Structure 1
């Protein structure tokens, strides 16, 4: 899949640049997170460095793949998702209004910043490069450190607050698409992990799902708050194999031959236990596949149907 033109063709070098610092809160129980953004004055040297790092981050992306709950990318690829499927519009809307009252005017406006946005504008085109901040921005961390600077072959006390920023970009917001080099930080900033938890809670109340099991408790305990397991459960819901009576019947008939340890009660309901939950998830994802050529049996990271 090609990189969106809104990202690949954007003239970063000649764009106007504004830096926004965002703090976030909320985003629980299905509610949207709250973002509080402020813009800050930056000098020419910093602007040039930021542009260079954004250009470099873009240049590392050689291909993009559709975002999926289980999708992963490597150092030369990125994931892509529609902006409207996320809370990114809240960030875009706030950073479009650099009003005087939104300007950083105190150190307290900087500390505990959650993420950092480089907003680039070129005519009517806008590109946002988003990066999650590190611990140097946290008040508790800063209180535990003594800041020093190396000067004239000696260490001196640095009285000025300092903040560091990764040269990487976690995700780009380019018009109606988000291009994601760093999936985990993207999910953290836009609260996608909480969305997974909310979807799993909804899934548990769905009769088509809950009625597959003699009891849901062991499976719920196994998944817990683990982000990988939550992604897998949401992917199970998206695939929907459990709603297919023919799929479930074949699962009951052939699970043992495919090396899956599953237990069924006399009514054909799955009996989840701490020991079998892993295989239950593998089965419902349809991730246990047999090769027609070697007759070997494999687990796969994501089963994409070939048409």
Structure 2
């Protein structure tokens, strides 16, 4: 886990901290996103709180998992993906320098920011920690409530603008690696999978994919615009088992042993029906597995090949 180890070795206690509030991403979903940011002058206690949050976030990570369409992390792990496979470069360009013209000087510069970035500068190294904003950053939310504080055994009104600083980060960009703690936030901020619909359309036009089916219409209708099913369809394309004649032959021969009831025509093509689409997806993902120990058959969410 070199990226994680390098982050932990940074002298964060003496890091310079710069905070940016970012609006966006904007632009057409199929295009590269546009970000608009303002840097914010922060008090020492804010910088200390941000440092403590990053240290705590790094301490939680016990395992680093390679990012995948269906890969999921938990509270003790992070997903890892190369920076250059994402739109992170566009975001980092926006927060490259704290210029006077980019400084937040009025409340509207901060309201409705979608996320914030804390830059931790240690010599010539910079770590960027990103977090989606809480509801209090939205104009509508700020206008709907009065802030109160409790002192001297009574409540009083505090009319100063308030912004919530989370005690976690969603992902961390460091050098050529991104460590993802919140996959949904990461994909939303960087539009990492904004082209899933387009990918699925391209899959439907792929000759080898079409050749595996009598008619893909029931499968297309099953996937629809469902986010999870679109992910799975993209993962099917990435894995490409339908292009492997031996895989498809073993599927036809052994499916019953694995509790599948997928139908095939006389030419060995899949007959997709509304009732079997879920099974077809599992089969093409290779997510129906049998234990060599218990001999039980399981459905799995993701697969990681093991070298033996």
Name the residue aligned to 2:136.
136
How far did residue 235 of structure 1 move? 1.5
Distance 1:134 1:226, change over 3 A: farther
Residues 28 and 194 of structure 1 are in contact (CA less than 8 Å); yes or no, is this contact kept in structure 2?
no
Q: In structure 1, how many angstroms separate the alpha carbons of the residues matched to 2:172 and 2:2?
A: 15
Residues 260-298 of structure 1: CA distance to partner in whole angstroms, max 9, x if unpaired? 132334443323333222111100011112233433222
Distance 1:2 1:76, change over 3 A: farther
Name the residue aligned to 2:179.
179
Q: In structure 2, how many angstroms separate the alpha carbons of the residues matched to 1:29 and 1:220?
A: 21
Distance 1:90 1:33, change over 3 A: same
Matches of residues 273-284 of structure 1 in structure 2 within 5 Å?
273-284=273-284
Matches of residues 60-71 of structure 1 in structure 2 within 5 Å?
60-71=60-71
Name the residue aligned to 2:7.
7
Q: In structure 2, how many angstroms separate the alpha carbons of the residues matched to 1:27 and 1:249?
A: 45
3-state secondary structure, aligned to 1:295: coil
Q: In structure 1, how many angstroms separate the alpha carbons of the residues matched to 2:251 and 2:87?
A: 38
Q: In structure 1, how many angstroms separate the alpha carbons of the residues matched to 2:157 and 2:257?
A: 68
Name the residue aligned to 2:158.
158
Residues 118-174 of structure 1: CA distance to partner in whole angstroms, max 9, x if unpaired? 001111111101111111111222333333222332332331121112110111101
Q: In structure 1, how many angstroms separate the alpha carbons of the residues matched to 2:27 and 2:253?
A: 43
Q: Runs of at least 4 residues of structure 1 off by over 4 A?
A: none
How far did residue 27 of structure 1 move? 5.5
Name the residue aligned to 1:243.
243
1:117 aligns with 2:132: no
Distance 1:283 1:147, change over 3 A: same
Q: In structure 2, how many angstroms separate the alpha carbons of the residues matched to 1:198 and 1:236?
A: 14
Residues 20 and 118 of structure 2 are in contact (CA less than 8 Å); yes or no, is this contact kept in structure 1?
yes
Residues 27 and 194 of structure 1 are in contact (CA less than 8 Å); yes or no, is this contact kept in structure 2?
no
Name the residue aligned to 1:54.
54
Moved more, 198-207 or 158-167: 198-207
1:216 aligns with 2:216: yes
Residues 130 and 169 of structure 1 are in contact (CA less than 8 Å); yes or no, is this contact kept in structure 2?
yes
Name the residue aligned to 1:82.
82
How far did residue 181 of structure 1 move? 1.5
Q: In structure 1, how many angstroms separate the alpha carbons of the residues matched to 2:293 and 2:57?
A: 41
Name the residue aligned to 2:72.
72
Moved more, 171-180 or 91-100: 91-100
Equivalent residue pairs, number: 307
How far did residue 29 of structure 1 move? 4.3
Question: Is there any run of 5+ residues in structure 1 with no aligned partner, and where?
Answer: none
How far did residue 197 of structure 1 move? 3.0
Residues 82 and 176 of structure 2 are in contact (CA less than 8 Å); yes or no, is this contact kept in structure 1?
yes
Q: In structure 2, how many angstroms separate the alpha carbons of the residues matched to 1:105 and 1:273?
A: 59
How far did residue 35 of structure 1 move? 0.6
Q: In structure 1, how many angstroms separate the alpha carbons of the residues matched to 2:48 and 2:72?
A: 31
Distance 1:156 1:224, change over 3 A: farther
1:30 aligns with 2:30: yes
3-state secondary structure, aligned to 1:255: helix
3-state secondary structure, aligned to 1:233: helix
Name the residue aligned to 2:204.
204
How far did residue 117 of structure 1 move? 0.3
Distance 1:10 1:197, change over 3 A: farther
Moved more, 270-279 or 61-70: 270-279
Residues 87 and 192 of structure 2 are in contact (CA less than 8 Å); yes or no, is this contact kept in structure 1?
no
Distance 1:143 1:263, change over 3 A: farther
How far did residue 40 of structure 1 move? 0.7
